Amino acid sequence: MTENETDTEQKIFEAACRIFEQKGFDGARMQEIADEADINKSMLHYYYRSKDKLFQKVYQKEMGRFLPVIFDLWNADLPLDKKIREVVEAYYAFLNENPRIAQFVIHEMNQNPERFQDFLAKLDLKVPQNFNRQIDREIKQENINEIDPRQLIISVVALTHFPVIARTMVKSINNFDDEAFQQFMEERKQFLVDFILNGINYQK
């Protein structure tokens, strides 16, 4: 691939990121992406034959840079309260920069479950065994209630993602404008950490 072709492909990728983040997979149109990249639609199809293939490129790059970070945090050698805080902070930092990524994940899992599983396998992500052992130790030391670590991980992910996925609903029922919503999400980080640790009766 020549330098010009590489530059064009990068322009398309960046344009696709912006359009997908603004409109999601279903709302995005190839013509809009071509216009955003300042190329014609034929050239766009030369590099990416379909919207689905372009979406995959965007999706895999974004998730490929985030998921290893979050798995490393779950496995990190950190006290449980600090770990929960850093995981919540990492999720919200990523979702704030990529507000549509949660919808991307849901779309991909529902539309192409086998491809999603294959994607995770290629990232070579492992169940966070260090975290499982940490939870077992905390239970034995009576620092937390008895809990399945898998339930805790899924609860953190769900509680973190829901307001982002349901942004329109959250804004509507609370009469939030964009600034008020951002303030609510900033405050929610501390609320979530306290809520989760209180929920498992964490004893420092």
CATH of 1-49, one of 3.50.50.60, 1.10.10.60, 3.40.50.2300, 1.10.760.10: 1.10.10.60
The distance from CA 103 to its chain's CA centroid, rounded to whole angstroms, is 9
Per-residue confidence at 31, pLDDT binned at 50, 70, 90? very high
H helix runs in 76-112, sequence order: 80-97, 101-111
More confident: 182 or 58: 182
- pTM comes to 0.76
- Report the amino acid identity of residue 88: V
The answer to whether 181 and 170 have CB atoms below 8 angstroms apart is: yes
pLDDT tens digit string along 109-151?
Answer: 777 788 777 777 777 777 788 999 999 999 999 999 999 999 9
- Report the amino acid identity of residue 116: F
The distance from CA 128 to its chain's CA centroid, rounded to whole angstroms, is 17
Residue 6 scores a pLDDT above 70:
no
Ordered by start, the domain boundaries in the chain are 1-49, 60-199
Give me the architecture of the 60-199 domain, per CATH.
Orthogonal Bundle (1.10)
Q: What angle do CA 115, 119, 122 make, to 5 degrees?
A: 135
pLDDT tens digit string along 7-30?
Answer: 888 888 888 888 887 777 778 899
In order of 95, 151, 152, 195, the CA distances from 155 in angstroms are 17, 6, 5, 11
